[in-house]
Structure 1
Amino acid sequence: MPVTIDDVRAVADGLPRSYEVLVRDRVKFRVGSIVWLAFNQEETEMGFAFPKEERAALVASEPEVFFLPRESDLRFNWVESRMGALDEERMRELVLDAWRMVVPKKLWDWPATD
């Protein structure tokens, strides 16, 4: 079943230092001033922090799921995805990996494990 923005919020809202903002009618998540997760206005596409050097391979491996950001955003560590092509497990993995790109390593083990 495809994920919704509410499914993503359930993961992103609880992450340390992450907060949600609304910019030009678009939901974005930030850590400090860094946007690490964002949605288009229709909430059908999710962009997220992702290593520039790995994104071409990701897009090429699953073009039905992932695509490059617009040309003006190619300078950023960023890739886009189609929400309808993601299941909850995959979304959770992408969200946590994107968040880990922008927080100190000491927070990476969230949630704390015993």
Structure 2
Amino acid sequence: MKIASKHDAALALLLALTDEVHTLASISVEINLSVSYLEQLATKLRGAKLIESVRGPGGGYRLTRPLNQITVGDIFTAIGTETNRQGFGLFDEIQRRLKHVALSDLGKGVQASCAK
């Protein structure tokens, strides 16, 4: 399984939404990624019902549920994965385990790394 930079970016986007509604423009500045790239990711995350858009003044995006209810597996499913599967079952086992790792379990170290 290839963990792509898009997975890192999606993780950073979700972690930036932990406390309130944010615009993609403000997140773009915070995590140093282009708004257009974040829009692509937000479309996938919204389609997976991990985030929702808020319209009107003060609008933007917010999480649909707390970080302890969003797993790394949810992100991989939403964003997609590229694999070189050879029938050993390793990919399936990794995917299964990622479904049990909540973003809140990753700790503040990941948040600090994503903000760089």
Report if TM-score (shorter chain) is over 0.5: no
**Greater relative CO, 1 or 2 (CA 8 Å, sep 6+):** 2
Higher strand share: 1
TM-score (norm 1): 0.30
